[in-house]
Amino acid sequence: MELDYHPELRDLTIRRPQLKLLEDVPSPDWVVDNWETVKNFQAKPDDLLIATYPKAGSTWMQEIVDLISQNGIELIEKMAFPRVIKTHLPIQLVPKSFWEQDCKAIIVARNAKDSLVSYFHFHRTCHLVPEPGAWREFFQRFMNGKVSRGSWYDHVKGWWEAKDKHRILFLFYEDIKENPRREILKVAEFMEKVLEEDVIEKIVHLSSFKVMKDNPMANYTTVPMDIMDQNISRFMRKGEVGDWKNHFTVSQNEDFDEHYERQMGHSSLKFRNVL
Ligand code: A3P
C-alpha cells in the first residue's frame, strides 16, 4: 500500500505530471492535489512504514517485510495487518498520526550516485513522474533538488536525524546487497519476529534480485504500459552497487563529489565508498 498514491488516479488518463511544491518539496501534482487525504491519514499503532527516497530499494524492502510477516511464504492475498505502508515522503511531510501512534518505520537509503542513475532510468519508463530530459539535465536537476520528491540530500539527512526520536530502523541498500541475511535478520528483529533457519534461507532466496526480477508480484509488470513502459527500461533494472560508473563522465563525477561534500560533509550520515 502506497501512502500518497491516490485511488482516483486509476480513473484518470495518464499524463506526465507537473511538479508542484509541497511546502518546499517538488512533488507530482497528483500528490499535491490530494494532499489533504494523505495528511489526514489515520495510522494504527501496528502500521509499519517503509520510507525511502525514490529508487533506494523500497520494493525490495517491502518484499522482505512481506516475506517475514508471512514466514517466507508468498501469498497472493497480502495479509491485512500489520499494514505495511510505503512512502517517498521526507520526514517532515509524513502524516502526524504515524508518530502519535508511535509506529515503527524502516528507512532504506542508497548512495546518491546510484540513486541518481536509477531515478533517471525510472523517469524514462514511468509516466507518474515528469520527462527526464537529457541525462546531463537530469543530473543537474537531481543535484539541485529540483526533481520529484526534492533533494536527495535533505531527504536522507532528515530521516537520519529522526532515527533516534522515533522507532526507526535505518538501513543501507549497499549493506543489504553485501549480506542480505544479516540485514533481513535486523528487519525480523525490528518486527519482533523469530524465524526458523529454513525460513530465513527462503526469504534470502525469494528476495534476491534474480527471483524478484521474474516475480510479477514484485517486478511491476502488472502495471499497464501507459503508466510504466518497461520496454524502455525494466523496473528491476540492474540491482547493482556502482552502476553510476557507467553513466557519470569524469568531470560530472568531480562536480558531483564537490557538491556532495558541501551538502553532506557536516552530517554524521556516511555512505560507504561505492567506487
Ligand atoms: P536499479 O534501477 O539500480 O536496478 P525502488 O523500489 O525504491 O523504486 O528501487 C528500485 C531499485 O531497487 C532498482 O534499482 C531495482 O533494480 C532495485 N532492486 C529492487 N529489488 C532488488 C533486489 N532484490 N536486489 C537488488 N536491487 C533491487
For each successive 10 residues of the chain (275 residues), what is the average pLDDT? 63 80 96 94 96 98 94 66 91 98 98 98 95 97 98 98 97 98 98 96 97 93 90 95 97 97 96 80
Nearest CA to ligand 1 atom 22: 209
Domain count along the chain: 1
Q: Could you tell me the residue range of the domain that residue 227 belongs to?
A: 10-264
The answer to whether residue 181 is domain-embedded is: yes
* Ligand 1 centroid from CA 36, angstroms: 30
The answer to whether residue 1 is domain-embedded is: no
User: Which atom belonging to ligand 1 lies closest to the Cα atom of 236?
Assistant: 16
Pairing of β 19-22 and β 25-28: antiparallel
Looking at residue 72, its pLDDT comes to: 85
Cα–Cα distance, 130 to 14 (Å, whole number): 12
Q: Residues lining ligand 1, judged by CB closer than 6 Å?
A: 52, 54-60, 114, 118, 121, 207-209, 212, 236-239, 243
* Ligand 1 centroid from CA 100, angstroms: 31
Three-state SS string across 202-245, please? Answer: HHHHHCCHHHHHCCCCCCCCCCCCCCECCCCCCCCCCCCCCHHH
* Ligand 1 centroid from CA 12, angstroms: 27
pTM value > 0.75: yes
Helix (H) or strand (E) holding 172: strand 167-172
Looking at residue 79, its pLDDT comes to: 57
Handedness of CA 49, 74, 57, 237 (dihedral sign): negative
Mapped onto helix, strand or coil, the DSSP state of residue 95 is coil
Domain harbouring 181, CATH code: 3.40.50.300
Name the amino acid, one letter, at 264: M
Cα–Cα distance, 108 to 174 (Å, whole number): 10
The answer to whether residue 177 is domain-embedded is: yes
| Catalytic residue ranges | 88
The answer to whether residue 5 is domain-embedded is: no
